[in-house]
Structure 1
Amino acid sequence: MNRDSGLERQLKNIEIHYIDVREQVMEQIAAKHEKRRRIRYSKPQIIIASIAVAGLLTGFAATAVVGIHNEQGKLIFSIRGFNDDNLPPLEQVEVVDQYVNQLQPGEAIAIYSPVNNPENIITVRDKPIIYEQLEMLKANVPQDQFDIPALDANNIQFKRGYVQYELGRPDSSRLIDESIQNDGKTVVEKVPVLDQILGVTMFIEMENQEYIVSILEGSRWQTLYTDLEKVKAHRTIVTEHGDALLIEREDGQQLMWKSDDGQQDLFYEMSVQGKSEAGADRLVALLQFLLK
């Protein structure tokens, strides 16, 4: 059988389903499937590369909680290790990408595969609409919620970007049942892309280096779960807009900042590709520019 043609037919015949959350239905699902079902929504994908930064604190994995505090010392954002309620993403990148690439921009899909998936995690991904003009991106984002400045100073150039939307929930029991009935094959289901905007991601070039910046709705970003063994060091960066958190991973750096303003609660996450001793300083400079 031609795999691509089968996939194309499957995608064309997909129908949107919604989870029935009535107690009786949920009890039937629990009785039929003993294993837990979990829906994994993709977080903003930050591409980072390995950079050595002097002066970072080490021993991150031994630290209970690392995060950002407000002026009163209250923890407003933390980084913690994966746990039973927050599992790592499936290591099926090629499988997921294969199905996502079949979508049209602006569509989303739920993917279930039992392979190496004892927790029955269902991955939900979208294929965003890419805007290559900053004004087009800004026109699709409420500026009173996500304030995107003009990127025309300090050698900063907008390359492309996309809007992040809330994604609908799939019928998890139907996906698992269908996979079981088809000898454990991967099953997909289209899900709706809702009107709720969660944030915006931009690819920015500065001094011949590409940076990825996500400006996200802060109320949804109080904790980031990650593999602590891949986090090698961290330190607090003091800026005129409050503290930011610089993270050094095995494959690079991230800078995170969160506002503590009830009127405009935002979370910034940015990263840089490539190796450069000036990487940390440029991340901070970019954050300062975006917040001015």
Structure 2
Amino acid sequence: MTQVWRCTGLRWGEGVPVLGWEGGRRSGLERGKRVAFAVVAGSARTCVGARGHGCPMRAEVPGRSTSARCEECARLDRAHSVAADTVADDPRPYRVYLAWFGPGMVKVGITAVERGPARLLEQGAVSFSWLGRGPLMAARRAEELLRAALRVPDRIAYAGKRAVRAVLPPAGERTAELAELHARAVALDGWPESLERAPFRAVDHSGVFGLDGLPRVDGVVSELIAGGAVSGDVLAAAGPDLHLATGRGVVVLDTRLMTGWELAVAERDEVTVPVREWGDTGVQDGLF
């Protein structure tokens, strides 16, 4: 009988990317690791639930969805999300950060102090610096201040992140762009009094992600399908993305597309899921 696994997603712990599986199993994704799985033929992708609870309807969800949640579970998950600005009374201290993904691609965000740099690794930030630390509402006000005064967005599309990973400028140029924006940010009038400004200290993740010498992308997996397979060697891992060396070139797999599917060991070395050639319009912005 074929053993079936259900992926719970990619996590970054202590700077190491790890795939989680229902039942507690974990698979490290160090560079050179072989990834080879097949979606069980005849299976359907089902909702992963919300806030640690399974979906009561076991609803079917689209293959292209990176959240793998039905409408109701997505609503419940968002109702408890700090990022969605639906939580106002969290007593934990928060940090405001600037994250650099490529030339001209810098975003502002907030994360709980207890999470450390995990949020930045999860987003695939090539480099970042803290801006300040304080209560949640003060951190939110600072985030909004930067968006309004400096036109710094709070989101960068994954298509843009993927487009530049293989052609990044030297670390010095990355740091200089981040430093210039940091200086402008902390000098703004209207900075919340309860938010302590943080000095500029750039943290670079290019080595952690494996971006040095990374080949250009040839294609991006657009969705998984029942009976389809993915097989390749890990060249890099950034955020939820795996850059894989496959028989059809360098293919990016957003591991968020794996959740909700029944997966088994691949019997053949091939990629037989839909792959959008790099440069096509509409490149999506997510057992071994």
Which protein is richer in strand relative to its size? 1
The structure having more radius of gyration, on CA atoms, is: 1
With structure 2 as the length reference, what TM-score do the two structures score?
0.23
With structure 1 as the length reference, what TM-score do the two structures score?
0.22
